[in-house]
Structure 1
Amino acid sequence: MSSDRNESLARLNDGWLSPLERPALAWLGSRVPAWLSPNGLTALGFAGAVATFCGYALAAGQPAWLWFVNAGLAVNWLGDSLDGTVARLRAIERPRFGFFLDQSTDVLGQFLFAMGLALSGYMPIGIAVTGLAVYLMMSVLGLLRAEVSRVFHLATGGFGLTELRCLLVVANVLFYLVPPRPFRIGGIATTYAELLGLAWIVVTMGLYLTTMIAEARRLAREEPLPGRPPDERE
Structure 2
Amino acid sequence: MGTQTQVADYSEIVQRTFSDRKRTNILKKAEQSTIVFLLPKVPKFISPNLLTLIGTLGSGLVFLAFVLGTYTTNWYLLLGIIGLAINWLGDSLDGRLAYYRNIPRRWYGFALDIISDWIGIILTGFGYYIYAKNGTQIIAFAFVAFYGWSIIISQLRYKITNEYSIDSGFVGPTELRFIVALILILEVLFHGSITYLAGFITVLLFIINTIDTLKLLKLGDLKDKNQN
TM-score range, shorter chain: 0.7 to 0.9
Q: Distance in 2 between matches of 1:118 and 1:161?
A: 20
Paired residues of 2:121 and 2:144 also in contact (CA < 8 A): yes
Q: Which runs of 4+ in 1 moved over 4 A?
A: none
Q: Distance in 2 between matches of 1:198 and 1:179?
A: 15
Q: Which residue of 1 aligns with 2:160?
A: 148
Cα deviation for residue 206 of structure 1 reads 1.5
What do residues 79-110 of structure 1 show as CA deviations (whole Å, max 9, x unaligned)?
A: 11100111011000000101111110110000
Cα deviation for residue 201 of structure 1 reads 2.3
1:130 to 2:114 alignment: no
1:180-191 alignment, distance < 5 Å: 180=192
1:183-222 alignment, distance < 5 Å: 192-222=193-223
5+ long unaligned stretches in structure 1: 1-8, 181-191, 228-234
One-letter code aligned to 1:32: V
1:12 to 2:17 alignment: no
Q: Which residue of 2 aligns with 1:159?
A: 171
Cα deviation for residue 196 of structure 1 reads 1.9
1:93 to 2:104 alignment: yes
What do residues 178-205 of structure 1 show as CA deviations (whole Å, max 9, x unaligned)?
A: 112xxxxxxxxxxx43222222222211
1:27 to 2:26 alignment: no
Q: Which residue of 2 aligns with 1:44?
A: 54
Cα deviation for residue 114 of structure 1 reads 0.6
What do residues 140-182 of structure 1 show as CA deviations (whole Å, max 9, x unaligned)?
A: 10011011111111211222211111111101111111112xx
Q: Distance in 2 between matches of 1:62 and 1:143?
A: 39
The structure having more radius of gyration, on CA atoms, is 1
Q: Distance in 2 between matches of 1:135 and 1:59?
A: 23
One-letter code aligned to 1:100: A
- When structure 1 is superposed on structure 2, of 151-160 and 40-49 the one drifting more is 151-160
Q: Distance in 2 between matches of 1:127 and 1:226?
A: 41
Paired residues of 1:10 and 1:150 also in contact (CA < 8 A): no
RMSD of the alignment, in Å?
2.0
Cα deviation for residue 226 of structure 1 reads 8.0
Cα deviation for residue 225 of structure 1 reads 7.9
| Higher helix content, 1 or 2 | 2
Q: Distance in 2 between matches of 1:76 and 1:15?
A: 18
One-letter code aligned to 2:65: G
Paired residues of 1:15 and 1:156 also in contact (CA < 8 A): yes
SS in 2 for 1:12: coil
SS in 1 for 2:138: helix
Q: Distance in 2 between matches of 1:125 and 1:138?
A: 20
| Higher strand content, 1 or 2 | 1
Paired residues of 1:55 and 1:66 also in contact (CA < 8 A): yes
Cα deviation for residue 222 of structure 1 reads 3.5
5+ long unaligned stretches in structure 2: 1-18
Q: Distance in 1 between matches of 2:27 and 2:203?
A: 22
Percent identical among aligned pairs is 27
Paired residues of 1:38 and 1:87 also in contact (CA < 8 A): yes
Cα deviation for residue 34 of structure 1 reads 0.6
Q: Distance in 2 between matches of 1:220 and 1:152?
A: 19
Q: Distance in 1 between matches of 2:198 and 2:182?
A: 13
- Give 2:67's match in structure 1, choosing from 57, 80, 85: 57
